[in-house]
Each structure stands twice: as C-alpha cells, then as structure tokens.
Amino acid sequence: MRYLLQRVAILLITGWAALTINFLIPRLMPGNPVETMIAKFQGRISTTAIHALELQFGLHSHQGWWLQYLDYWRNILTGHLGVSVTYYPQSVGSVLAQSVPWTVGLVGLSTVIAFLAGTLIGIRSAWRRGRLGADLSVPVALFLNSTPYFWFALILLYAFAFLLSWFPLSGGAASSGSPQGLAYLGSLAYHGTLPLLTLVITSLGGWLLTMRNNMLSTVSEDYVAFAQARGLPEGQVMYRYAARNAILPSFTAFAMAIGFVISGTLLTEIVFSYPGVGFILYQAVTSLDYPLMQAIFLFISLAVLAANFIADLVYILVDPRAREGR
C-alpha cells in the first residue's frame, strides 16, 4: 500500500507539472501565436474566435498570470479546450475524441506485443549467451533500437503497400460500412497491420536489451544456482527463478519506454495517414493550430501517466515486496 501511495503521489506531481508546462510554453515562447494564426488563416477566423484565442494564450490580456493559470485549470477541469482552427468549427475536444481510440489501440497493442516478444527473446538470448544465435540478437536489437520509426514505416509502406499491394496505402478502416461486425474488424486489421508491425519491430529491441541485461545480472544470483542444485527443470529455472526476478526492473523502465513508443506512434501514424492523434498533431503543426497542439500534448501527458500507473499496478502484482509492504 505504501508503495502504491508513493507512486500515486509521484504521478500527481508529474501530472501537475505536465499541465503547467503546457500552460507555460505558449507564454514563454517568443513570438505571438495568435498573430501567426491570423496571418495563416486570413479572414477565416472570426473576431470572437480571435478573442477567445488571445485569452487562451494570455495575449493582450490584463489578467495577471496567476488568474490566467486559474482560468486554464478551470477550462481543463470543465473540458473546455478551445476551438480547433484546422477543423473549425469543431471543438478541440471533439477532434481529439475521434482520434484518441485509434492511437490508444495502436499504442496499447503494440506495446503489449513488443514487450512480450522483446522480453522473451531477451530472456533466451541471455540464457544461451555465448552461442552465435543468442549473441547476434544484440547488434540486431541495437539496430532496431536506433531505427527511426517513421523511416521503418516508410520502408514497410513501400514494400508491402506500394510494391506488393498486400496492405492499403493509408487510413484506419474502410470508409464504407458501419463500425461493427466481422467485416469491420477485418478492415481494421487490414489497415492496422503495417503500423502495428512498425511499432512492434522498432520498439522490440529496447525491451530485448533491457531484459537481456537484467537477466544476465540475475542469472548469477544464488537463488538461480540453488534452483539448479535442486535439480529443477531448465525451463523452470530460466523463467520462474531467473526471468521472474529479472523482469521487475523492466516495469521501472516503462516510464521512459512508453514515452518513446508514443513518440514513435505519432510519426508512424503520419506516414500511414492513420487517423490517430499523431495524424491530427501533424495537421495541427503544419497549419499552426496551437489550441489543438496544446490539447494533444495534454492528452498525451495524461495517457502516459495512466500507462505508468498501470505499469505500477502490474508491478505490485508481480513483486511481493511491493505488495506486502516493506
């Protein structure tokens, strides 16, 4: 319990910090975002919208920062994130709501698959260290780890969508048909395979290396030797005694990893024109839609915090020392 409370406290602080950074960036950056937007959307933004934007970004405002900050919080807590300029007159909230499920699905699925696959290969690579096949996994993982997501996405797109036409060039699902039923699921898979594959393959290397290193440290622990001395089957020693302990630090590494995966997802979505948050962010960036950008950053920060919280819960499940207090 103490562990959990501690984690919750850290998450709350982090959440507060992320939201405050979100508040500060437009105010600290040089230049005037609203003017930039007006210039870009000449005549397409109404005066009331301009006024709203000026308020949101604290320009020409006679309010002190403190009052602006309170307003900012009130807007967030009541869900008023402003109006998107790109998708005018939709509110930022509703634009976000349409794209979030795609990204959450992609990130969630790819993280789980990459974590499991990378961890499994890492375990075996450490256990069979010294053999060519196992040691070769290291440079391969290092290569995957430093492969730009979007570049790998482009390669897959070119090979499997453009040249071979096995998969579509863009989109998240067939535009016709109701979002239900087996056919729709099929279309989801049809569109989602390449983005998923990109994310799984490029993020797998990191998990592999983390697990391999942890595993190599754990393998020389006494309890592993003691398990071997008791004549336990090799698989049991490898998984239940060594890997079960070696995996614990991976949950701690989760905080950083999930940030990378989300970053990768944003870029991957752009390449595949996948209708998730990354794609929207791209639209927002190219059209200087600052309210939308701010909202997306807000969402991503909260999503990362949620993912971290889930990782913490899982950690409590798998480590009795965190569970039974200490």
Partner 1 sequence: MKAALRSRWAQAGLVILAIFVLVAALAPVIAPYSPTNSSFSPLASPSLRHLLGTTQLGQDIFSQLVWGTRGTLEIGFLTGLFATALGVLVGIGGGYLGGPTDSVLNALTNVFLVIPGLPLIIITAAYITTKSQLPIILIISFTGWAWGARVLRSQTLSLRQREFILAARLVGESPLRIVVSEVLPNMLSLIAANFIGAAIYGILSAAGLQFIGLGNVNAVTWGTMLFWAQSQGALLSGAWLWILAPGAAIALVGTALGMLNFGIDELTNPRLRAGVKKLPKPVPAGTPEVGALLSLQEIEAGYQTAAGPLTAVRGVSLAVKPGEFLGIAGESGCGKSTLAFAALGLLRPPGAVYRGSSYLAGVDLLALTPAQRRPYLWRDASFVFQASMNALNPVIRVRDHVLDTARAHGLPPAEAIERATALLQQFEIPAHFLDAYSFQLSGGMKQRVVLALSLLLRPKLILMDEPTTALDVVVQRLIMQQIEWILGELGVSIVFITHDFSLLVEISDRIAIMYAGTVVEQGPAAEIYAHPLHPYTQGLIRSFPPMSGERQVLHGIPGHPPGLGEKLSGCPFFARCSARLEGVCDQAVPALLAQGDQHTVACHLYGQPPPVAAPTAVGEAR
Report 203-222 residues binding partner 1 (CB under 8 A): 213, 216-217, 219-222
Q: Is 262 in the site for partner 1 (CB under 8 A)?
A: yes
Secondary structure class of 3 (helix, strand, coil): helix
Q: How far is CA 285 from CA 26, 88, 136, 281, 291, in A?
A: 14, 15, 40, 6, 11
- Neighbouring-strand partners of residue 83: 91
Residue in 198, 194, 215 with CA at minimum distance from that of residue 137? 215
Q: Is 133 in the site for partner 1 (CB under 8 A)?
A: no
With beta carbons less than 8 A apart as the criterion, state whether 128 and 134 touch: yes
Give me the least distance between CB of 274 and partner 1, in Å please.
14
Give me the least distance between CB of 161 and partner 1, in Å please.
10
Find the length of the chain: 326
Binding residue for partner 1 (CB under 8 A) from 188, 285, 306, 310? 285
Q: Is 89 in the site for partner 1 (CB under 8 A)?
A: no
Q: Is 4 in the site for partner 1 (CB under 8 A)?
A: no
Q: How far apart are CA 200 and CA 194, in angstroms?
A: 10
Give me the least distance between CB of 120 and partner 1, in Å please.
18
Q: Is 1 in the site for partner 1 (CB under 8 A)?
A: no
Which tokens hold the place of 104? 């959450």
Give me the least distance between CB of 164 and partner 1, in Å please.
13
Q: How far apart are CA 118 and CA 99, in angstroms?
A: 28
Which residue, 50 or 188, has its beta carbon nearer to partner 1? 50
The secondary structure of the chain in percent helix, strand, coil, rounded to multiples of 5, reads: 75, 0, 25
Give me the least distance between CB of 177 and partner 1, in Å please.
27
Q: Is 40 in the site for partner 1 (CB under 8 A)?
A: no
Q: Is 138 in the site for partner 1 (CB under 8 A)?
A: yes
Q: Is 69 in the site for partner 1 (CB under 8 A)?
A: no
Residues 161-180 that bind partner 1 (CB under 8 A): 162
